[in-house]
């Protein structure tokens, strides 16, 4: 590729000759821009000789036009000779279009901070309002299903129980066991310093049954089931399947949401029981291994450690958490717009929102149970 | 079906500004217009999925947007709709997709459903494909299965959303014939929304041409072919420049500077 160039020939008396050489193309321009070298004195007339030009594209033509215009603007007479007809046409095209394009559009000014904050708040409020509407719609569908159970999608419910419940057993068991181990170990080290080893029982039972089991189960379910709800409904939305259901005369909330919500409200409490059992088992194993509190002692101490009330408190949270995860998951699925990237974005939002709301609800429960003195 | 004085706005942007349509029973009516004129939106308005800002849509004597939810769902059972993508339920087989509306809305015994489904699939020439999953079908076959599903409940009307888009010539020919044949043999009323001029003109009894939220031309295909309207002429003959400009309107420089546009 012969690199483009511009040679200035100065025979004197204010007459300059510019000789264009080689390729004036978008890729070759960076090699010789900025051009041309400033003449030592002000020229009166410039003649551009394009005979040596081997290639010209829109980038080169634009550069040439700018150079010519720049000279013209400085009051210099400019003439172009020796342009091939094709190059001539290209130059004219670029000239006519660059006039139409006008001044370059400046990048939009960054939004003022206050306005951005306001928009953000407004968006969240609108989202919250839409979620509220969705909860209402789901509730009314569930109420109708309660009156007419034959209309309920039992098979979809079983599928939800299988995928959200049964298939989550291994991961929840393992994680809950490990959490029990961690709680017993971290607490046990402190208790041993005071010789109060046996209180590890109270610690494990209170922490695991009351707080951690419902929370861990709900968060795992939000991650593996809530996100799946969003992705399933979202991809149906993208493929117009949700619209197709409506035109067939089926309420998508009835078909897609109701069985998922009911399924999760049934599955999560069971998973919470499992998580509680496994967590306590993990704590027992650790207590026996590290703190010298054997299984027998552990179980004997357990009833005095408030096991029943902790268990009931923990269990009362599970259905609420389940409703949060399922509703948010389905809601975000219906918020999916056009395009596959929207599915991914809403899936992420579903998990983040669900976990956020779970923790808010847990805090609310703590306050509530504090009032009730449980 | 009649549409009277229909207006609809998407936020600030007006999509329809007083559209009047009359769709005759038993005929194939086409609604044409360039991309982005809101043809799909019009179908959604007719199906009651969207609410117009003004005007009425009357189907079979009922005002779609005044109906209760129950009544609307009843009405929708009598309106089949064919989506651009086919919109088959991906986790059901071809057979189950066609059987879906029957199972949902009727208490027919399974043997009867089987007969009906195979009959509908035969009508679209895909009885042999009843065991396949939607992902195993080509685009044209998917649309034909969706068509079989749309006629599963013997609707009085079918709405087609861009039935020809992105199909090869043979598939287009098949679809064109099918739509005409089904319309005539099942005594349907068909509404086709499309921008494929040749195919649509071949089967439509009456054509409405939409642009800029208004009806700019109407008539039988022959009558439209002789039109003097420069707009309709540009659309039907596919001229690149004319009343519809080649250039997308560029933002006003000052307006852009002041940040008037959307962020």
The reported pLDDT for the residue numbered B262 is 44
Preferred mutation among A151, A235, A249 to probe B, highest tally of B CBs within 10 A: A249
Model confidence at B86: pLDDT above 60: yes
Provide the 10 A C-beta neighbour count for residue A112: 10
Exposed / middle / buried, residue A346 (Cβ in 10 Å: 0-12, 13-18, 19+): buried
Tell me the pLDDT tens digit for each residue of A11-57.
Answer: 767 777 888 878 888 877 766 655 555 555 566 778 888 888 888 88
| Mean pLDDT comparison of A319-323, B4-8, B254-258, highest-scoring range | A319-323
Exposed / middle / buried, residue A85 (Cβ in 10 Å: 0-12, 13-18, 19+): exposed
Mean pLDDT of B127-155: 86
Nearest Cα of chain B lies from the Cα of A348 at a distance, in angstroms, of 23
| Mean pLDDT comparison of A335-344, B77-86, B233-242, highest-scoring range | A335-344
What is the chain A residue with the closest CA to B46? A247
Which chain B residues have any C-beta within 8 angstroms of a chain A C-beta? Answer: 44, 47, 49, 73-74, 76-77, 79-81, 83-85, 87-90, 100-101, 104-105, 146, 149, 159, 250-251, 253, 256-257, 259, 261, 263
The reported pLDDT for the residue numbered A355 is 96
Nearest Cα of chain B lies from the Cα of A151 at a distance, in angstroms, of 10
Model confidence at B23: pLDDT above 90: no
Mean pLDDT of B80-105: 85
* SS3 call for B194: strand
Reference A271, options A153, A176, A373, A158; nearest CA is A176
Cross-strand pairs, B215? B210
What is the chain A residue with the closest CA to B153? A248
Mean pLDDT of B231-257: 68
- Report DSSP letters for A103-157, one per residue: SPPPPPPPPPHHHHHHHHHHHHHHHHHHHHHHHHHHHHHHHHHHH-GGGS-HHHH
The reported pLDDT for the residue numbered B72 is 83
In the numeric block, which tokens belong to residue B221? 């295909």
- What residues in B contact A239, CB-CB < 8 Å? 85, 87, 90
Question: pLDDT below 50 — which residues of chain A?
Answer: none
> Are residues B83 and A102, on separate chains, in Cβ contact within 8 Å?
no
CATH label, A5-100, candidates 3.30.360.10, 3.90.800.10, 3.30.750.24, 3.40.50.150: 3.30.750.24
The reported pLDDT for the residue numbered A35 is 54
Preferred mutation among A140, A234, A247, A249 to probe B, highest tally of B CBs within 10 A: A247
- Report DSSP letters for B137-157, one per residue: S-HHHHHHHHHHHHTTT--SE
Q: Name the residue among A102, A109, A247 with its Cβ closest to that of B47.
A: A247
Whole-number Å distance between alpha carbons of A248 and A116: 42
The reported pLDDT for the residue numbered B140 is 81
Mean pLDDT of B71-85: 81
- Residue B169: band (very low, low, confident or very high) from pLDDT cuts 50, 70, 90: confident
> Are residues B81 and A247, on separate chains, in Cβ contact within 8 Å?
yes
Mean pLDDT of B210-230: 79
The more confidently predicted of residues B16 and A35 is B16
The reported pLDDT for the residue numbered B156 is 86
Nearest Cα of chain B lies from the Cα of A249 at a distance, in angstroms, of 5
Q: Name the residue among A105, A111, A244 with its Cβ closest to that of B87.
A: A244
The more confidently predicted of residues B223 and A99 is B223
Q: Render the burial of B162-186: b for 16+ CB within 10 Å, e for the rest.
A: bbbeebeeebbebbbebbbebbeee
Domain boundaries, chain A: 5-100, 142-372
3-state secondary structure A267-306: HHHHHHHHHHHHHHHHHHHHHHHHCCCCHHHHHHHHHHHC
Reference A143, options A256, A253, A270, A264; nearest CA is A253
The reported pLDDT for the residue numbered B263 is 43
Cα-flanking dihedrals φ and ψ of residue B146, to 5°? Answer: -60, -35
Tell me the pLDDT tens digit for each residue of B43-70.
Answer: 888 877 788 888 888 887 788 888 887 8
The reported pLDDT for the residue numbered A86 is 85
Residue with tokens 């389905």: A330
Tell me the pLDDT tens digit for each residue of B149-165.
Answer: 888 888 888 888 888 87
* SS3 call for B49: coil
Cα-flanking dihedrals φ and ψ of residue A22, to 5°? Answer: 65, -150
> Are residues B259 and A109, on separate chains, in Cβ contact within 8 Å?
yes
Nearest Cα of chain B lies from the Cα of A131 at a distance, in angstroms, of 19
Whole-structure pTM value: 0.74
Cβ–Cβ under 8 Å, residues A65 and A98: yes
The reported pLDDT for the residue numbered B261 is 46
């Amino acid at each position: 590729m012969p690199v483009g160039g511009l040679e200035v020939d100065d025979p004197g008396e204010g007459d300059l000759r510019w000789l264009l050489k080689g390729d004036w193309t978008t890729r070759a321009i960076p090699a010789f821009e900025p051009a041309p070298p400033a003449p030592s004195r002000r020229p009166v007339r410039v003649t551009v000789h394009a005979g040596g030009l081997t290639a010209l594209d829109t980038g080169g033509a634009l550069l040439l036009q700018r150079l010519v215009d720049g000279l013209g603007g400085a009051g210099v007479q400019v003439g172009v000779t020796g342009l091939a007809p094709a190059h001539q046409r290209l130059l004219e095209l670029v000239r006519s279009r660059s006039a139409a394009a006008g001044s370059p559009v400046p990048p939009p000014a960054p939004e003022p901070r206050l306005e951005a904050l306001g928009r953000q708040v407004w968006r969240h409020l609108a989202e919250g309002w839409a979620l509220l509407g969705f909860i209402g719609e789901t509730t009314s569908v569930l109420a109708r299903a309660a009156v007419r159970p034959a209309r309920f999608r039992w098979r979809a419910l079983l599928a939800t129980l299988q995928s959200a419940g049964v298939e989550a057993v291994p991961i929840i068991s393992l994680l809950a066991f490990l959490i029990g181990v961690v709680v017993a170990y971290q607490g046990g080290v402190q208790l041993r310093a005071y010789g109060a080893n046996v209180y590890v029982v109270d610690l494990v039972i209170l922490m695991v049954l009351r707080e951690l089991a419902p929370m861990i189960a709900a968060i795992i379910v939000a991650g593996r089931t809530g996100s799946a709800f969003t992705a399933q409904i979202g991809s149906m939305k993208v493929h117009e399947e949700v619209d197709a259901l409506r035109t067939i005369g089926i309420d998508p909330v009835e078909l897609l949401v109701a069985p998922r919500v009911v399924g999760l409200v049934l599955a999560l409490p069971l998973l919470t029981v499992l998580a509680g059992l496994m967590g306590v088992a993990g704590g027992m194993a650790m207590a026996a291994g590290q703190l010298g509190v054997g299984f027998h002692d552990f179980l004997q101490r357990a009833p005095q450690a408030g096991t029943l009330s902790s268990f009931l408190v923990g269990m009362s949270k599970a259905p609420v958490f389940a409703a949060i995860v399922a509703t948010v998951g389905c809601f975000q699925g219906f918020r999916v717009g056009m395009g596959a990237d929207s599915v991914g974005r809403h899936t992420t939002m579903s998990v983040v929102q669900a976990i956020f709301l779970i923790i808010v609800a847990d805090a609310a429960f703590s306050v509530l149970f504090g009032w009730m003195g449980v | 079906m009649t549409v009277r004085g229909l207006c609809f706005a998407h936020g600030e942007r007006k999509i329809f500004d007083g559209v009047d349509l009359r769709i005759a029973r038993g005929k194939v009516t086409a609604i044409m217009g360039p991309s982005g004129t809101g043809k799909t939106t019009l179908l959604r308005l007719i199906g009651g999925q969207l609410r117009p800002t003004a005007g009425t849509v009357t189907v079979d004597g009922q005002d779609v947007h005044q109906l209760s939810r129950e009544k609307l769902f009843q009405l929708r059972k009598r309106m089949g709709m064919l989506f651009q993508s086919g919109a088959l339920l991906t986790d059901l087989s071809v057979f189950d997709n066609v059987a879906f509306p029957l199972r949902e809305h009727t208490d027919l015994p399974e043997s009867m459903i089987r007969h009906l489904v195979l009959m509908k699939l035969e009508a679209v020439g895909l009885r042999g494909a009843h065991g396949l999953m939607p992902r195993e079908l080509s685009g044209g076959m998917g649309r034909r299965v969706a068509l079989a599903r749309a006629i599963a409940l013997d609707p009085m009307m079918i709405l087609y959303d861009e039935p020809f888009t992105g199909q090869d010539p043979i598939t287009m020919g098949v679809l064109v014939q099918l739509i005409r044949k089904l319309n005539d043999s099942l005594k349907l009323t068909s509404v086709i929304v499309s921008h494929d001029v040749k195919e649509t003109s071949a089967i439509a009894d009456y054509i409405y041409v939409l642009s800029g939220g208004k009806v700019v031309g109407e008539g039988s295909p022959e009558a439209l072919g002789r039109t003097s309207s420069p707009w309709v002429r540009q659309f039907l003959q596919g001229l690149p420049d004319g009343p519809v400009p080649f250039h997308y309107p560029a933002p006003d420089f000052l307006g852009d500077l002041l940040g008037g546009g959307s962020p």
